């Protein structure tokens, strides 16, 4: 075990809740060659929220190959959401980087955001007073979808996620599950190449889960990649190409 | 070119969104129009009651103060921007705007469009009601010139809203300081009474912000109030305020967002 790993492990906040052994963190994915370009590459990303807290991400590496799905699990607060936020370009790692096809969000933010779509956990990110259709139109315009394609993009999304009956209903008059379906529709609205999902099954019924799986399959069919995070994978019927959990800031094969 | 068109549509989309949200609260416009009616009624009777030195007649003071009331609504809309940003942070939509190709900076600037346009309409309604209800006489030959002058004034006011929005992104509070800033500007900007009544040092402070020259220019154009300085000098001051403060405020907002991303606090609300 490296000295850096020992420091991280020895902090009280971590030892309170994690059982660990002196086993080295040996199954961390191999460091990725710098010249490699992938749908998504997180390279040696480290993040610490406060100086007196342990690293949430400790030189974490993750590669998503084209046409693959990856599941990352782990207990609450282990760093899954932080990893997704770094991958989405929402927050910066203290060191390391996240790249989409070799480009970071700092280098070309607009392009990065066109390629990546992020579904955060929870039920936020919606305008309560807008209808489903207006919500989708708004986000399509903010995603800078060409005006000529806008109507078709929105109507296709409404059909894909079976939102036709809800299309003219305001969000604050919808159930949690219906809102989650809308949030998922927003995530897949502009055919992103990389989709980052944080606990996407929250509040979703079986029908919604099937629609989500179909949307994931479409991303894979166009050689995109999906990163799916949830605390536990036991309820998932999906086939993942790779399964990891985060332990002490690094990925360990699940 | 395509990106420019798409960005233009995105700007309009933000404005349309705000319009839809505004219209979903059906009584809001009624209450705001009633507030204006009560304000102008109050000052109409105050102007009749008090003989103000420096004004030839009660009607002259009434015209003076109605323009001030109209400008207050515009000032309020500028200072509503931090609260709008705060709402986006709480709703989790700010993250989405930040992660969109349109981006957070342009989104925040676009968020100012609807409140500013709406306040412009409300200001026009206030003046219209003062004319219809209390016989305010507008100086019609120069009223059309007040529209570009108002546009320039908005560009000079806008940085204040953006600077407070940057503060909101950093410290997560929407209304911090805006109420007392509005009160202060109402006094030193000469919105309700001439700044010549204020102590000399306050008059000097009044020249440090764009609300005073904007008020003077618009009063002159709308109700033909006498100018204490030349209209050209007041307009140049507005141009300088806009040219200096607008890039500065956009830089401050951009820096606040970047700092939030680096420290990870951008996700907090």
* Res B181 pLDDT > 90: no
At B182, give phi and psi (nearest 5°).
-65, -45
Instruction: Show the low-confidence residues of chain A (pLDDT under 70).
Output: 1-35, 233-236
Chain B partners of A146 at a C-beta cutoff of 8 Å? 2, 5-6
The secondary structure of A45-79 as a DSSP string is EEE-SSTTS--SEEEEEEEE-TTEEEEEE-STTSS
Q: Are A14 and A8 in contact (CB under 8 A)?
A: yes
Residue A44: helix, strand or coil by DSSP? strand
> In this complex, do A129 and B267 lie within 8 Å of one another by their Cβ atoms?
no
What's this model's pTM, rounded to 2 decimal places? 0.88
Helix ranges restricted to H, B142-230: 146-171, 178-188, 200-206, 211-223
Q: Given CB atoms, is B92 within the 8 Å cutoff of chain A?
A: yes
pLDDT, one tens digit per residue, over B159-174 is 999 999 999 999 998 7
Residue A233's nearest CA partner among A69, A35, A30 is A69
E strands of B67-164, at which residues?
A: none
Closest in B17, B101, B261 to A127, CB measured: B17
Give this complex's ipTM.
0.90
Give the tokens for residue B152. Answer: 């320039």
Instruction: Compute the nearest-CA separation of A81 from chain B (Å).
Output: 11
Residue A19: helix, strand or coil by DSSP? coil
Q: To the nearest whole number, what is the mean pLDDT of chain B?
A: 92
Q: Are A72 and A228 in contact (CB under 8 A)?
A: yes
A79 CB-near residues (< 8 Å, 6+ apart): A47, A56, A57, A60, A246, A249
Whichever domain contains A80, its CATH number is 3.40.50.300
**pLDDT number for residue B36:** 92
Q: Given CB atoms, is B261 within the 8 Å cutoff of chain A?
A: yes
For A12, half-sphere exposure in the C-beta direction (CA atoms, 13 angstrom radius) is 1
State the DSSP code for A226: E
Burial class (CB in 10 A: 0-12, 13-18, 19+), B23: exposed
Q: Are B80 and B161 in contact (CB under 8 A)?
A: yes
Alpha-carbon span B224 to B218, nearest angstrom: 9
Alpha-carbon span B249 to B247, nearest angstrom: 6
Chain A partners of B92 at a C-beta cutoff of 8 Å? 120, 122, 124-126
pLDDT, one tens digit per residue, over B37-77 is 999 999 999 998 877 777 888 889 999 999 999 999 888 89
Give the tokens for residue B68. Answer: 């001030």
Chain B partners of A120 at a C-beta cutoff of 8 Å? 92, 95
The 8 Å CB, 24+ separation contacts for B224-232 are B224/B139, B224/B142, B225/B63, B225/B64, B225/B67, B228/B196
Q: A54-63, A161-170, B189-198, B215-224: which has the minimum mean pLDDT?
A: B189-198
Residue B131: helix, strand or coil by DSSP? helix
Find residues 106-135 of chain B whose CB sits inside 8 Å of chain A.
107
With an 8 Å Cβ cutoff, the interface of chain A facing chain B consists of 47, 49, 82, 85, 88-92, 109-110, 113-114, 116, 118, 120, 122, 124-130, 134, 137-139, 141-147, 150, 170, 186
Count of the separate structural domains present in chain A: 1
**pLDDT number for residue A156:** 97
Q: How is chain B split into domains, by residue range? A: 2-267
Task: Tell me what percent of chain A is helix, strand and coil, each rounded to the nearest 5.
Answer: 35, 20, 45
Residue A243: helix, strand or coil by DSSP? strand
Residue reference for tokens 């282990």: A78
> In this complex, do A85 and B267 lie within 8 Å of one another by their Cβ atoms?
yes
Alpha-carbon span A118 to A206, nearest angstrom: 22
> In this complex, do B7 and A126 lie within 8 Å of one another by their Cβ atoms?
no
Closest in B6, B21, B25 to A144, CB measured: B6
For A155, half-sphere exposure in the C-beta direction (CA atoms, 13 angstrom radius) is 5
Distance from the Cα of residue B105 to its chain's centroid: 19
* Res B87 pLDDT > 70: yes
Residue reference for tokens 């007196």: A52
A115 CB-near residues (< 8 Å, 6+ apart): A39, A100, A101, A192, A193, A194
Give the tokens for residue B131. Answer: 């004319």
Length of chain B: 269
Chain A partners of B104 at a C-beta cutoff of 8 Å? none
Residue B264's nearest CA partner among A94, A74, A109 is A94
**pLDDT number for residue A35:** 56
Tell me the β-bridge partners of A229.
Answer: A72, A198
Residue B265: helix, strand or coil by DSSP? helix
Tell me the β-bridge partners of A237.
Answer: none
Give the tokens for residue B176. Answer: 């911090």
Alpha-carbon span A134 to B120, nearest angstrom: 26
Residue A174: helix, strand or coil by DSSP? coil
**pLDDT number for residue A9:** 27
Q: How many CB atoms lie within 10 A of CB A69?
A: 23
Q: Given CB atoms, is B87 within the 8 Å cutoff of chain A?
A: no
For strand A250-253 and strand A242-247, is the pairing parallel, antiparallel, or unpaired? antiparallel
> In this complex, do A114 and B13 lie within 8 Å of one another by their Cβ atoms?
no
Q: How many CB atoms lie within 10 A of CB A129?
A: 18
**pLDDT number for residue A150:** 96
Q: Given CB atoms, is B10 within the 8 Å cutoff of chain A?
A: yes
The nearest alpha carbon in chain B to A147 belongs to B6
Considering Cα of B223, then B224, then B225, then B227, what sign does the dihedral take?
positive
E strands of chain B, at which residues?
A: none
> In this complex, do B103 and A113 lie within 8 Å of one another by their Cβ atoms?
yes
Residue B191: helix, strand or coil by DSSP? coil
The nearest alpha carbon in chain A to B97 belongs to A142
CA-angle at B26, arms to B21 and B32, nearest 5°: 95
* Res B199 pLDDT > 50: yes
Q: What is the mean pLDDT of residues B18-36?
A: 92
Alpha-carbon span B120 to B116, nearest angstrom: 6
> In this complex, do A170 and B10 lie within 8 Å of one another by their Cβ atoms?
no
**pLDDT number for residue A33:** 45
**pLDDT number for residue B206:** 83
> In this complex, do A91 and B266 lie within 8 Å of one another by their Cβ atoms?
yes
> In this complex, do A138 and B91 lie within 8 Å of one another by their Cβ atoms?
no
Chain B partners of A130 at a C-beta cutoff of 8 Å? 17, 20-21
**pLDDT number for residue A236:** 61
Closest in B7, B91, B95 to A144, CB measured: B7
**pLDDT number for residue A237:** 72
Structural domain containing residue A21: 3-253
Q: Given CB atoms, is B91 within the 8 Å cutoff of chain A?
A: yes
Instruction: Compute the nearest-CA separation of B166 from chain A (Å).
Output: 17
Chain A partners of B7 at a C-beta cutoff of 8 Å? 144
For strand A116-119 and strand A194-198, is the pairing parallel, antiparallel, or unpaired? parallel
> In this complex, do A146 and B13 lie within 8 Å of one another by their Cβ atoms?
no
Closest in B6, B103, B266 to A109, CB measured: B103
A133 vs B2 pLDDT, higher one: A133
What region does A126 belong to: left with phi over 0, alpha with psi -120 to 50, or beta?
beta
Burial class (CB in 10 A: 0-12, 13-18, 19+), A64: buried
């Amino acid at each position: 075990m490296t000295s850096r790993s020992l420091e991280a492990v020895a902090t009280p906040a971590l030892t309170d809740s994690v059982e660990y052994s002196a086993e080295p963190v040996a199954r961390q994915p191999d460091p990725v060659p710098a010249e490699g370009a992938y749908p998504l590459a997180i390279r040696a990303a480290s993040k610490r929220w406060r100086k007196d807290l342990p690293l949430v991400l400790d030189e974490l590496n993750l590669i998503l190959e084209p046409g693959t799905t990856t599941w990352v699990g782990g207990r609450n607060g282990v760093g899954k959401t932080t990893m997704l936020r770094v991958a989405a370009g929402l927050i910066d790692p203290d060191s390391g980087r996240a790249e989409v096809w070799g480009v970071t969000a700092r280098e070309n933010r607009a392009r990065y955001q066109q390629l990546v779509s992020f579904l955060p956990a929870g039920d936020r990110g919606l305008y309560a007073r807008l209808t489903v259709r207006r919500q989708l139109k708004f986000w399509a315009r903010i995603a800078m979808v060409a005006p000529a394609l806008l109507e078709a993009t929105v109507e296709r999304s409404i059909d894909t996620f079976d939102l036709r009956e809800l299309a003219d209903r305001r969000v604050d008059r919808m159930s949690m599950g219906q809102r989650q379906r809308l949030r998922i529709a927003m995530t897949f609205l502009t055919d992103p190449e990389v989709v980052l999902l944080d606990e996407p099954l929250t509040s979703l019924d079986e029908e919604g889960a099937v629609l989500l799986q179909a949307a994931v399959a479409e991303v894979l069919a166009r050689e995109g990649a999906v990163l799916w995070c949830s605390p536990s994978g036991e309820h998932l019927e999906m086939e993942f190409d790779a399964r990891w959990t985060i332990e002490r800031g690094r990925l360990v094969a699940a | 070119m395509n990106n420019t068109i798409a960005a233009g549509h995105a700007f309009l989309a933000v404005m349309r969104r705000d319009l839809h949200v505004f219209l979903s609260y059906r009584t809001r416009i009624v209450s705001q129009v009633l507030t204006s009616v009560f304000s102008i009624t109050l000052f109409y009777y105050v102007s009749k009651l008090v003989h103000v030195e420096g004004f030839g007649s009660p009607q002259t003071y009434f015209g003076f103060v109605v323009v001030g009331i109209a400008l207050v609504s515009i000032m309020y809309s500028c200072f509503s921007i931090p609260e709008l940003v705060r709402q986006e942070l709480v709703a989790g939509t700010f993250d989405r705007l930040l992660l969109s190709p349109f981006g957070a900076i342009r989104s925040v600037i676009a968020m100012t469009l609807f409140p500013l346009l709406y306040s412009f309409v409300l200001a026009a309604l206030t003046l219209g009601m003062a004319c219809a209800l209390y016989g305010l006489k507008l100086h019609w030959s120069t009223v059309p010139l007040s529209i570009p002058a108002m546009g320039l004034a908005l560009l000079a006011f806008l940085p204040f809203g953006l600077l407070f929005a940057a503060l909101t992104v950093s410290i997560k509070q929407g209304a911090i300081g805006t109420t007392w800033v509005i009160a202060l500007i109402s006094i030193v900007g000469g919105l309700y009474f001439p700044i010549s009544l204020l102590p000399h040092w306050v008059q000097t402070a009044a020249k440090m912000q764009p609300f005073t020259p904007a008020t003077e220019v618009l009063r002159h154009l709308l109700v033909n109030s006498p100018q204490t300085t030349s209209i050209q000098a007041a307009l140049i001051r507005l141009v300088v305020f806009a040219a200096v403060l607008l890039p500065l405020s956009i830089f401050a907002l951009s820096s606040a967002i970047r700092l939030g991303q680096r420290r990870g606090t951008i996700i907090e609300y």
